[in-house]
Structure 1
Amino acid sequence: MPRYMLIMRGTDETNAAMMASIDEAMAATGRFIEDMMKAGVLLAAEGLDDPARGVVVDFGGETPVVTDGPYGETRELFGGYFLLDVATQREAVEWATRVPAVRGSKIEVRRVAEADEVPQDSRA
């Protein structure tokens, strides 16, 4: 069955709104995860740490430049993901509409490419 990633995208504002009611947000997320587990579609789910603790490796020049977080002018931040094993993109979208996200957040739905879809090294 195809795999789809529901990518949680937020902003500084949506992250702050979630943190303001973190206990409620975690409880709602826990119930959502339980629903996906009962339906047999959840393969993995992970949230990411505060972006201020991250590092950016920028390949914009001749050599990579490493910068400590926060990310500066980034408008959206990748906050975590759910990896689902569902039959169709439509089913993945249906699950995405149920994510307990705060107002202003976005969920990006992307199919995970299968190994036979990725170009293989021809030097075998």
Structure 2
Amino acid sequence: MVTSEIVAIGKNAIVENDPLVILFGPEATHNLKDVAVIQKFTATHPEINLRRGSKIKVRDLSFEVTFCGKLVNANLNGVGHATFCFEPVPDTPLQSAIYLTPERFPGFSVGDKITYIF
């Protein structure tokens, strides 16, 4: 289990009726910070190993991973990057994305905790 805290939300990170959110660590470039939710892990070097069936909690809301792209774990462990998709897994899913169920966007606020349970 690894926990992060949302420390910033870019002005274009949350788009109404768009069921996804892009996450990055604090070292994201200025351009990325405009379109991303910035998370800071409590562990210095997180060792995240998500797979189908893992859980992700946003605040007190729990989601199950229905698909975890092959780039997700390396990206999360390296630069805190992943895309959370709150929609059904498409025929060609994004390899940097985590598809989650239930398929409802939880909303994000600075100070929220995200817990990765694998």
Q: TM-score, normalised by structure 1?
A: 0.28
Structure number, greater radius of gyration:
1
